[in-house]
């Protein structure tokens, strides 16, 4: 899914907490993205209301790999 720069900048600030960063970093470094539903919960609890972000993290059929746009968004990559 492609996101415009403005939308990515808007989404980046919402729910980007130390907890969310730690979950994303652990998945990125271990290449085990099974905690992405927990990342969605952490971001939602911190104010993220982006349906695209939350649905992607919770979708068991989504491609969760290094380069995942949500993980990159949380980690400030890209």
pTM: 0.81
Our count of domains for the chain comes to: 1
d(CA 69, CA 56): 9
* pLDDT tens figures, 31-44: 999 999 999 999 99
Angle at 48 between CA 18 and CA 11, to 5 degrees: 90
Residue 5 pLDDT exceeds 70:
no
Range of the domain at 46: 5-75
Q: pLDDT tens-digit profile of 6-19? A: 455 555 566 789 99
Q: Give yes or no for residue 66 having a pLDDT over 70.
A: yes
């Amino acid at each position: 899914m492609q996101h415009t720069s403005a939308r990515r900048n808007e989404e980046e600030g919402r729910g980007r907490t130390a907890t969310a960063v730690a979950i994303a970093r652990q998945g990125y470094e271990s290449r085990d993205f099974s905690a992405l539903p927990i990342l969605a919960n952490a971001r939602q609890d911190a104010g993220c209301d982006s349906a695209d972000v939350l649905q992607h993290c919770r979708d068991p059929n989504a491609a969760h790999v290094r380069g995942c746009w949500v993980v990159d968004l949380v980690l400030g990559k890209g």
